[in-house]
Copies of this chain bind each other. A is one copy, B any other.
Amino acid sequence: MKQPQAITAILQQLLEQCQPLYSQGKVADYIPALAKVAPDNAAIAVATIDGQIHTAGAADKNFSLQSVSKIFGLVMAMNRIGDDLWQRVNMEPSGQPFNSIVQVEWEKGIPRNPVINAGAILVADVLVSHYSASKSAFLTFIRRLVGEENIYADQQVYLSELEHGNRNAALAYLMKSFGNIEAEVPDVLAHYFHQCATAINCRQLATSLLFLANRGVQPHSNEQICSRRDAHRVNAILSTSGMYDQSGEFAFKVGLPAKSGVGGAIVAIVPQFGVITAWSPALNSFGNSVVGMQLISLFAEELGLSLF
């Protein structure tokens, strides 16, 4: 493995190399609160299970967690209701857009996996139904993982999501019509949009997910966050389904479990090594950060991190 200094130097170099790509994507504009983020921003962070953290770029600048929040919700729900979760959501890749309502209909209210929108809304239903205060429980969970308190939900993003959440409402009501949502739909959506609105930075995010690279144990606290088996399972799901309809291509090019969000973040898990996070707000047509994809792809190639 490369020396620490080497890693930081590589990150810095890759960041410079990717600057020409800033203009190739398009910042998410389905809600005003996201649309106003400047596209010429980028950061990359690498946290390793032996406690190192390397960064380049705006690694302390907050962004909106968006779909990356699905990982945390999933771990919380697995911890809370165990394998019962898999009676209500499948674990197969979807082959459909992330917000597909067609598939929920065909599969009678059972989402294909927990990282497409329908599945994440179902996970939100589990949290709302099993926690007295699921929104704060979610924040508490992330804060504990990072070991820092300054992680919060951006109220402006949250309210903006609520206002533009008709499609997610359709998904939730459709699942409820099949009997697969227990709580009231507005409560489920409120939790879901709240978790999506989490403000976090690249450095924090890399640290937070180290347990997935370390058999369920968070290195800095030595706390067992989830079972070894569940850590494997989350990585498996991210591997087949984490990058929207570019998951196959990401496996093909990078070969690591990963998850992206429309806030521009991407996380990649390197089992037994650590976590790579990248952030840059301009997205490609699949909803994945253009620069983020490139940064992680080049870094993984440089260090030979592909699982395959």
Taking Cβ atoms with an 8 Å cutoff, the residues of A that contact B are 90-96, 101-103, 105-106, 112-113, 166-167, 169-171, 173-174, 176-177, 185, 231-233, 235-237, 239-241, 245-249, 251-252, 255, 257, 269, 271, 306-308
Contacts and interface: CB of A to CB of B under 8 A. Distances in A.
A303 to B, nearest CB: 14
Contacts of A91: 248-249, 251-252
Given A166-B173, A236-B252, A236-B255, 7 more contacts: A93-B248, A101-B105, A166-B176, A170-B170, A236-B248, A237-B252, A239-B251
A166 B170 contact: no
A119 to B, nearest CB: 11
A236 B235 CA distance: 14
A96 B95 CA distance: 7
Nearest to A99: B177
Given A240-B240, A247-B92, A101 B101 contact: yes
Contacts of A166: 173-174, 176-177, 185
Most B C-beta atoms less than 10 A away, residue of A91, A96, A103, A171 = A91
Contacts of A255: 232, 235-236
A247 B95 CA distance: 12
Closest 8 CB pairs of A and B: A95-B95, A93-B93, A235-B308, A92-B248, A166-B177, A236-B251, A167-B177, A170-B174
Given A166-B176, A173-B173, A248-B241, A232 B95 contact: no
Contacts of A173: 166-167, 169-170, 173
A112 B92 contact: no
A231 to B, nearest CB: 8
A195 to B, nearest CB: 20
B247 A233 contact: no
B170 A308 contact: no
Contacts of A170: 101, 169-171, 173-174, 177
Nearest to A116: B95
Contacts of A248: 90-93, 113, 236-237, 240-241
Contacts of A249: 91-92
A247 B232 CA distance: 15
Nearest to A235: B308
A213 to B, nearest CB: 9
Given A91-B252, A96-B95, A240 B247 contact: yes
B95 A112 contact: yes
A273 B20 CA distance: 40
A252 B112 CA distance: 14
Contacts of A112: 95
B92 A103 contact: no
30 contacts: A91-B249, A91-B251, A91-B252, A92-B93, A92-B95, A92-B248, A93-B93, A93-B95, A94-B95, A95-B112, A101-B101, A101-B105, A102-B106, A113-B248, A166-B173, A167-B173, A169-B169, A169-B173, A170-B170, A170-B174, A170-B177, A231-B308, A232-B306, A239-B239, A239-B251, A240-B240, A240-B248, A241-B248, A271-B307, A271-B308
